[in-house]
Amino acid sequence: MADIRLDGVGHSYDGGKTWALKPMTWTWRDARAYALLGPSGCGKTTLLNIISGLITPTVGRVYFDERDVTGVPTAGRDIAQVFQFPVLYEEMSVYDNLAFPLRNRKVPKQEVDRRVRQVSQLLGLDQVLGRRSRRLDPGRQQIVSLGRGLVRAQVAAVLLDEPLTVVDPALKWTLRSKLKEIHRDTGHTLIYVTHDQTEALTFADEVVVVNDGEIVQAGEPAELFLSPAHEFVGHFIGSPGMNVVPAEIAGGVVRVNGGDVGAADDGLPPGPVRIGVRPEFVEIGGPETSPGVPARVTEVDRMGAYDLVHTVAGEHRVIVKTEAGAPYRPDDGVHLHFPAERTFLFRDQVRCGSLAPLHERGLA
Ligand SMILES: Nc1ncnc2c1ncn2[C@@H]1O[C@H](COP(=O)(O)OP(=O)(O)OP(=O)(O)O)[C@@H](O)[C@H]1O
């Protein structure tokens, strides 16, 4: 077990014309459970394959603690990898498949049996241990693949590349919590690749968000939700994602459509800026909602547990998440208030500050 350190690591598949992974420096801490979250094609698998040694990065060095493993092939890295689809010896029994990674490393027979039975019990495979793998359905085969990845106690990391794709949705929840249980038990470093925010947020100690070949933010699930450092994180996490509204800073005040919505952080230069605020935090009401931006309701989605009130402020769309039964109808005139403690300012997609209450600056 070790910290896995990427030092200036980047990868290009076309001789440097484009970067599938832009050069980055980043450390995966020993024994943590990470989710690597991002849309299709953002570089997640490339990053995982660099850690496992399936890909040698175009630039940079990979270290396991102080050991430089950049040129070390997969077999020499002590990594367990679980792919999207089952990788099994189909003619072997489930037991032998689970035992294979241990026997291959000459683990004593008794210890093999103990580990196989432990993992089998956790993953609900006890009833099928004697069955040939080929006779299982694809979902069950994938669970065996997962077991093969988790069976070794001593690994530098377990890398899971969208491992639950072929598993039945109802079973996904159970398996995810099993994975957490196994993680608590073994203390493996887990890196779990997914493009599904729910999977990432419910699984990980720390979520690493990747977009367009770079890490845009990493943090605990609540931190990513409450304090996005990049517009992409605001959009990608949350349902619906963060509202982004073009605004202007002038004389220390942030204005939308000519109306004051708050003060700017000290030191922020005047000029265009974008306000980011999640639908959960926008306050909606009448003209007394101050400081507020006038808006018009365009649609109300009744979601059962809550309502989504769609509005336009000038030409900017803003969604507000309210309690179920919100008393709004299309064409109603409303005011929107952006609470200072939950509203951030972005320039070039990156957070540059936050909104401050107007009265604290004596500007109200
Ligand atoms: N073997 C390859 N040759 C050329 N380009 C590749 C290769 N593998 C990946 N790419 C490109 O590199 C970029 C990153 O791909 P990668 O598979 O790492 O992304 P990903 O986030 O894992 O996507 P997905 O979730 O769809 O698997 C994409 O633009 C992809 O088309």
Ligand 1 midpoint to CA 40 (Å): 8
CB 40 less than 6 A from any atom of ligand 1: yes
What one-character-per-residue DSSP string does 151-172 give?
--SS-SEEEEESTTTTS-HHHH
As a whole number of angstroms, the distance between CA 274 and CA 316 comes to 11
- Rounded to the nearest 10 degrees, the angle between the axes of helix 94-103 and helix 109-123 is 130
Q: What's the whole-number mean pLDDT along residues 315-331?
A: 95
What share of residues in the chain are helix, strand, coil (percent, to 5)?
25, 35, 35
As a whole number of angstroms, the distance between CA 343 and CA 256 comes to 13
Instruction: Report the pLDDT value the prediction gives residue 289, as an integer from 0 to 100.
Output: 64
Segment among 73-82, 127-136, 175-184, 292-301 with least mean pLDDT: 175-184
Task: Write out pLDDT tens, residues 1-37.
Answer: 789 999 999 999 999 899 999 999 999 999 999 999 9
Q: What's the whole-number mean pLDDT along residues 135-160?
A: 90
CB 191 less than 6 A from any atom of ligand 1: no
CB 13 less than 6 A from any atom of ligand 1: yes
Confidence check: pLDDT of 361 > 80: no
Atom number in ligand 1 closest to CA 42: 21
As a whole number of angstroms, the distance between CA 351 and CA 224 comes to 13
Atom number in ligand 1 closest to CA 21: 14
In which band, very low, low, confident or very high, does the pLDDT at 249 lie, cut at 50, 70 and 90?
A: very high
Instruction: Report the pLDDT value the prediction gives residue 168, as an integer from 0 to 100.
Output: 85
Instruction: Give the residue from 150, 147, 220 showing the smallest Cα distance to 189.
Output: 150
Task: Write out pLDDT tens, residues 58-74.
Answer: 999 999 999 999 999 99
Q: At residue 332, what are phi and psi to the nearest 5 degrees? A: -60, 140
Q: Atom 26 of ligand 1 has which residue's CA nearest to it?
A: 40
Q: What's the whole-number mean pLDDT along residues 207-235?
A: 96
Atom number in ligand 1 closest to CA 46: 18
Instruction: Report the pLDDT value the prediction gives residue 258, as an integer from 0 to 100.
Output: 80
Query: What does pLDDT average to over the chain?
Result: 92
Q: Which of 36, 44, 191 is the pocket-test mutation for ligand 1 (most atoms within 8 Å of CB)?
A: 44
Confidence check: pLDDT of 287 > 90: no
In which band, very low, low, confident or very high, does the pLDDT at 364 lie, cut at 50, 70 and 90?
A: very low
Segment among 7-11, 119-123, 185-189, 240-244 with least mean pLDDT: 185-189
CB 42 less than 6 A from any atom of ligand 1: yes
Respond yes or no on whether ipTM tops 0.90.
yes
196 CB neighbour count, 10 Å cutoff: 15
Tell me the two tokens of residue 285. Answer: 């009401």
Ligand 1 midpoint to CA 46 (Å): 6
Instruction: Report the pLDDT value the prediction gives residue 363, as an integer from 0 to 100.
Output: 47
